[in-house]
């Protein structure tokens, strides 16, 4: 199989949604810098993304909405009626200087990946993607455009007829589910925290039989994620036999994330990617949520290592430590629980200790129900 490809862009380093916005932290740029410091990223396996064009965006999004996002970026303002109609400048979707170009670049990366994987089976990693809440004519949940939907549509438009999508973000992948809930060519799987925004993705929601939602209770730990992976998610994907697979790797279900109440270590997500990547000849791995810069950078860098088979040392080399020590975060809540800030292991190690525990009956029931349904 060909060497995995990493897609990035410097726009993520210089794009800011506002000092108090959860996404105003270094994420993709930090992953790029850590991976480069580790010797894992160079000209041979890195490709620069590009902004998707209007003609590409309107394959899923409505022309009037795309035009409204572009105009709001140009003017740095929006009329109240359009703000309400398109959910722009409100609901966590601010008006800012790259509000069209940044998400369009995320889409461009996923489309580059989709096209590349049609030409050559293999693996592409695009941590700037994973904006799974985007709706056809509305921004939603910090997501202006939906790159995952557009990548899957690219494949379907060109003849693939079995595409699997697995969403590991703590929030339900509602935009992707809505796009494909009546399309038998797409298998949709989402593991998310029950009751958390957008409060969709019930286990009873089956679509036409192609939807499998795992709304887990708060406090999910690594052993519970591993059970769902091995007993339900991986068998579902294997039985579907996809020609291509998308994994959305939101890092907001990790224990240190400020916007959720799960207890995962990054090893649970690394394990999920390692198991699932064997189940399709074409693999697109995306980013997603994640609002602690250190946990996101460490988790997503480790995903890239796993995709390539790179060894993760117990302690990082000085160059990678320096990248993590250079990160900053203006969030004050929760700092008092640590003896130092940031905690030493956030800057010296990539891997979290395995965070296991007793597996709750409700989690076992979710796995059992999915097995009984099958695909």
Q: What is the pLDDT of residue 19?
A: 86
pLDDT of residue 2: 85
CA distance 92 to 232: 33
Which domains does the chain carry?
Answer: 5-373 (3.40.800.20)
Instruction: Flag whether pLDDT at 373 surpasses 70.
Output: yes
Which of 116, 132, 133, 154 is catalytic? The answer is 133
pLDDT digits (tens, 9 = 90+) for 40-49: 999 999 999 9
> Residue 61 is encoded by which pair of tokens?
């999004």
Active-site residue flag, 14: no
User: Residue range 20-31: average pLDDT?
Assistant: 95
SS (H, E, C) 335-352: HHHCCCCCCHHHHHCCCC
Helix intervals (H) in 181-338 = 222-228, 234-240, 266-276, 293-308, 318-325
Identify each DSSP E strand in the chain by its residue range. Answer: 5-8, 46-48, 122-126, 163-167, 186-193, 211-216, 244-248, 282-286
pLDDT per position as a tens digit, 244-274:
999 999 999 999 999 999 999 999 999 999 9
Query: Is the C-alpha dihedral spanning 111, 114, 116, 122 positive or negative?
Result: positive
3-state secondary structure of 373: helix
279 pLDDT above the threshold of 90: yes
Q: Token digits for 319? A: 């160059």
pLDDT tens digits, 137-159: 999 999 999 999 999 999 999 99
Mean pLDDT of 48-72: 98
Q: Helix, strand, coil % (nearest 5) of the chain?
A: 40, 15, 45
Residue 211 has pLDDT above 70, yes or no: yes
pLDDT at 185: 98
């Amino acid at each position: 199989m060909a060497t995995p490809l990493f897609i990035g862009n410097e726009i993520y380093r210089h794009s800011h949604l506002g000092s108090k916005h959860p996404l105003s932290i270094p994420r993709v740029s930090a992953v790029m810098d850590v991976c480069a410091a580790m010797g894992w990223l160079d000209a041979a396996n890195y490709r620069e993304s590009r902004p998707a064009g209007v003609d590409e965006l309107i394959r899923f999004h409505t022309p009037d909405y795309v035009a409204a996002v572009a105009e709001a970026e140009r003017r740095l303002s929006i009329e109240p009626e359009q703000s309400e109609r398109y959910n722009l400048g409100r609901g966590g979707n601010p008006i800012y200087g790259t509000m069209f170009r940044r998400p369009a670049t995320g889409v461009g990366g996923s489309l580059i990946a989709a096209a590349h994987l049609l030409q050559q089976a293999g693996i592409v990693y695009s941590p700037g993607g994973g904006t799974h809440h985007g709706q056809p004519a509305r921004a939603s949940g910090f997501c202006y455009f939906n790159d995952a939907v557009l990548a899957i549509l690219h494949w379907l438009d060109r003849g693939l007829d079995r595409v699997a999508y697995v969403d590991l973000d703590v929030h339900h992948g509602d935009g992707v589910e809505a796009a494909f809930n009546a399309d038998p060519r797409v298998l949709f799987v989402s593991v998310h925290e029950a009751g958390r925004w957008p409060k969709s993705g019930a286990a009873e929601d089956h679509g036409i039989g192609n939807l499998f939602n795992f709304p887990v209770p708060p406090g999910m730990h690594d052993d519970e994620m591993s059970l769902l992976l091995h007993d339900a998610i991986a068998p579902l994907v294997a039985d579907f036999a996809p020609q291509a697979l998308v994994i959305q790797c939101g890092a907001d279900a990790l224990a240190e994330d400020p916007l959720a109440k799960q207890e995962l270590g990054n090893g649970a997500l690394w394990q999920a990617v390692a198991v699932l990547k064997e189940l399709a000849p074409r693999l697109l791995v995306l980013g997603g949520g994640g609002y602690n810069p250190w946990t996101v950078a460490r988790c997503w860098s480790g995903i890239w290592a796993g995709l390539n088979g790179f060894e993760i040392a117990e302690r990082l080399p000085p160059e990678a430590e320096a990248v993590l020590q250079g990160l900053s975060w203006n969030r004050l809540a929760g700092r008092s629980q640590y003896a130092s800030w940031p905690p030493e292991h956030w800057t010296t190690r990539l891997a979290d200790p395995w965070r296991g525990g007793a597996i709750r009956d409700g989690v076992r029931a979710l796995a059992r129900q999915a097995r009984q349904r099958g695909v």
